[in-house]
Amino acid sequence: MTNLQTIDISNNQLMKFPDPLVYLEQLTSLAYSQQN
């Protein structure tokens, strides 16, 4: 569940900073990998 919260926080920051798009994708992929 910590992973989901981290993604949520990154998603909110993404609205303010469009730069970490790649970082968000990597973070999401990592979270999905840990879930699977």
Short-list 15, 20, 19, 33, CA closest to 3: 33
Residue 21 has a pLDDT of 73
Residue 35 has a pLDDT of 84
Q: What is the pTM of this model?
A: 0.36
Place of tokens 């990998």: 33
Which one-letter DSSP state was computed for residue 5?
Answer: H
Residue 14 has a pLDDT of 54
Residue 7 has a pLDDT of 64
List, for residues 1-36, the tens digit of each pLDDT value.
566 666 676 666 655 555 667 777 888 888 889 887
